[in-house]
């Protein structure tokens, strides 16, 4: 399997670097951060929307109100549930958004499946991370090599691995581009309040007990009171339940 190609370091304006290092963005609300992001980076700014969690849809709605032509991409791993594809079409119709669907390269997927089978992710953490790397991490890396900044729906209370998420940071795993996390200080109820207020479309699997929807074989409904991430890679411990797209090289993420 071919190695992931290195990403060229991006030249970021020195004033933006100073503001990031100085924590200037931490007091800003989500709308102000998105307005700044669009002003400074559009059209070389792209929103990552999984269509499996409401955060991405909230950000899509906010960005659309500021700049209807704001770019949105989704990683199609080839293993997503039908409900997620249905939501993509609903969003396209509702907002007139031209989704940028990013697929994994066929050759590495074929080689991985030929070597380890279709459901290798259940066998070990290493094989699950390999599957995520081939189907998600490498496609993300490829897409982000063409932009200067990207927006994610990360929140600090989602998982132990996300507690230190900054609202605006440098993404060193992707060539030093700017990573924007406008909802970092939001809680789940903040997200759902926005969904209700603006009638934002969401994945129908949420109503069936799925707080987070990823690939179909790696997601399941949870019981009331469970950790919201308990339905993702439920056979692993909480500290390994990441696909790698939000982890740096030293943590086994996109730098690999």
- Beta bridge pairs of residue 232: 219
Give every CB contact of residue 95 below 8 A, 6+ residues apart in sequence: 60, 61, 64, 68
At 241 the pLDDT is 55
Does the structure show a pLDDT above 80 at 90? yes
Q: Minimum mean pLDDT among 2-11, 25-34, 122-131, 234-243: which range?
A: 2-11
Does the structure show a pLDDT above 50 at 237? yes
pTM metric for this prediction? 0.87
- Phi and psi at 5, nearest 5°, equal -75, 145
The rounded radius of gyration (Å) of the Cα atoms in the chain is: 17
Which residues are the active-site residues?
Answer: 243
Q: Tell me the percentage of the chain whose pLDDT exceeds 90.
A: 77
Distance CA(65)–CA(54), nearest Å, equals 17
Mean pLDDT of 197-213: 96
Confidence of residue 111 (pLDDT cuts 50, 70, 90): very high
Domains of the chain: 14-210 (3.40.50.620)
Confidence of residue 230 (pLDDT cuts 50, 70, 90): confident
Looking at 112-167, which runs of residues are DSSP E strands?
149-151
Confidence of residue 256 (pLDDT cuts 50, 70, 90): very low
Nearest C-alpha neighbor of 209 from the set 230, 195, 193: 230
Q: Minimum mean pLDDT among 40-49, 131-140, 156-165, 200-209: which range?
A: 156-165
At 19 the pLDDT is 96
Does the structure show a pLDDT above 80 at 179? yes
- And the tokens for 154? 């990360």
Confidence of residue 136 (pLDDT cuts 50, 70, 90): very high
Mean pLDDT of 74-92: 98
């Amino acid at each position: 399997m071919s190695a992931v190609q290195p990403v060229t370091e991006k030249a970021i304006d020195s004033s933006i670097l100073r503001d990031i290092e100085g924590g200037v963005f931490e007091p800003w609300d989500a709308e102000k951060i998105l307005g700044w992001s669009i002003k400074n980076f559009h059209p070389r700014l792209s929103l990552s929307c999984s269509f499996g969690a409401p955060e991405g849809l909230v950000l899509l709605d906010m960005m659309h109100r500021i700049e209807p032509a704001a770019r949105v991409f989704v990683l199609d791993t080839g293993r997503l549930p039908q409900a997620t594809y249905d939501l993509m079409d609903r969003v396209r119709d509702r907002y007139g958004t031209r989704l940028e669907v990013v697929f994994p390269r066929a050759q590495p997927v074929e080689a991985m499946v030929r070597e380890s089978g279709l459901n290798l992710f259940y066998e070990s953490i290493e094989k699950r991370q390999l599957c995520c790397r081939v189907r998600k991490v490498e496609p993300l890396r490829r897409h982000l090599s063409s932009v200067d900044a990207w927006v994610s729906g990360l929140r600090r209370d989602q998982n132990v691995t996300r507690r230190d998420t900054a609202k605006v940071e440098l993404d060193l795993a992707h060539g030093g581009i700017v990573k924007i996390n406008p909802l970092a200080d939001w809680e789940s109820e903040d997200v759902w309040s926005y969904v209700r207020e603006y009638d934002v479309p969401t994945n129908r699997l949420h109503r069936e007990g799925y707080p987070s929807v990823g690939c179909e074989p790696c997601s399941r409904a949870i019981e009331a009171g469970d950790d919201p991430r308990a339905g993702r890679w439920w056979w692993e411990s909480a500290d390994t339940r990441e696909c790698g797209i939000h982890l740096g090289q030293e943590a086994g993420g996109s730098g690999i």
